[in-house]
A = this chain, B = another copy of it.
Amino acid sequence: MEIMSHIDWHPALADPSKQRQVKPRTTGKTMVIDKGLGLRAFEDLLQASANHIDIIKIGFGTSVLYPKHILQEKIKLAKKANVQIMPGGTFLEAAVLQHKQDHFFEMVHQLGFTSIEVSDGTIELSPQLRKDLILKGMEYQLQVFTEYGKKCWGSSIEIEACVQTIQQDIEHGAEMVTIEGRESGVGVGIYDENGDCKQSELQELLNQVPSTDLIMWETPLKSQQVQLIKQIGADINLGNIAPTDILSLEALRRGLRSDTLQMFE
């Protein structure tokens, strides 16, 4: 761990039980949402912080908006840095809407993506089709992340359905299930119209889910990252993190920022 060589004195590292896992991690993963980084910015991101990034999501359907060779280069760079990379769930939803999922899988495979997101944030997806998409992804040797929750304003999560979905998706082969938080983090899923966690929903979900390792929390806002880290722990899986926030988030996880400094006292 050359990266740590100059910080062996740090509190969060002094107690081995508080150390963060190194990659490939089984939990405490961080997923970045990339809304259009160019090649140099992408190289910057990986060079400065690949150790703290597990997955990069090429947001929404933006994959098709890059010149093809730029997207291919980004995918290559991510893989070289041991970072998983996938297109956004809306991209697959658009394909499903047009009954073009075969084209989708073929394209994802050809481009070299390592993972996909199966979601029904905007469209309806029958349990059977959801299962088929997961299995199809695995057939192509892709890591499958699924998502629970609708993207529309004011939508919340139904705990029972959510827990059931998590169990089924995992059973069918999914890595973990993302809880919808959008890119804004406001008025959707477990967040109220101010972006604060709805405590009763969250508590009930935590009570019923077999393991929080199965969940990736979309936490675009810093306040949400702080709240969930304090409430559940530093090693939860967090998604939809802005590229500019990667080191700040890792600092939060390690008690290297005011909000969580006292956690490691």
Q: Spell out A's residues near B (CB within 8 Å).
A: 2-7, 9-11, 14, 35-41, 43-45, 47-49, 51-52, 59-62, 64-68, 70, 90-91, 93-95, 97-98, 100, 103-104, 107, 110-111, 121-123, 151, 182, 184, 222, 244-248, 250-251, 254-258, 261-262, 265
- Which residues of chain B come closer than 8 Å to A5, judged between CB atoms? 68
List the B side residues contacting A44 at CB < 8 Å.
Answer: 37-41
Interface centre among A2, A98, A255 (most CB of B within 10 A): A98
Pair B94/A255 contact, Cβ less than 8 Å: yes
With contacts A41-B40, A95-B9 taken as known, whether A2 is within 8 angstroms of B62 at the C-beta atoms is: no
Known contacts A59-B248, A261-B94, A47 near B39 by CB under 8 Å: yes
| Smallest Cβ-Cβ distance to A256: which chain B residue | B61
Q: Least Cβ distance of A75 to chain B in Å?
A: 12
Contact A48 B66 (CB under 8 A): yes
A76 to chain B, nearest CB (A): 15
- 26 residue pairs of the A-B complex, CB under 8 angstroms, read A2-B67, A3-B68, A6-B68, A6-B110, A7-B64, A7-B107, A10-B98, A35-B244, A36-B245, A38-B41, A38-B47, A40-B40, A41-B41, A47-B67, A48-B70, A51-B67, A59-B247, A59-B251, A60-B257, A60-B258, A61-B251, A64-B256, A90-B261, A91-B256, A93-B261, A122-B258
Report A10 CB to chain B, min CB distance, Å: 6
With a cutoff of 8 Å between Cβ atoms, the chain B residues found around residue A37 in the complex are: 44, 48
Q: How distant is the Cα of A257 from the Cα of B63 in the complex, in angstroms?
A: 11
Cα distance A43–B70 when bound, in Å?
13
- A90 near B36 with CB under 8 A, answer no
- A244 partner residues in chain B, CB cutoff 8 A: 35-36
Q: How far is the CA of A45 from the CA of B70 in the complex (A)?
A: 12
Q: Which B-chain residue is minimally distant from A3 (CB atoms)?
A: B67
Using A47-B70, A48-B67, A94-B256 as known contacts, list a sample of 16 further A-B pairs with CB atoms less than 8 Å apart, ordered by residue number in A.
A3-B66, A7-B64, A9-B104, A11-B94, A14-B98, A35-B244, A38-B41, A38-B43, A38-B44, A48-B70, A59-B251, A60-B258, A62-B247, A91-B256, A122-B258, A184-B222
Query: Complex Cα distance A95/B94, Å?
Result: 49
Residue numbers in B under 8 Å from A2 (CB-CB): 67-68
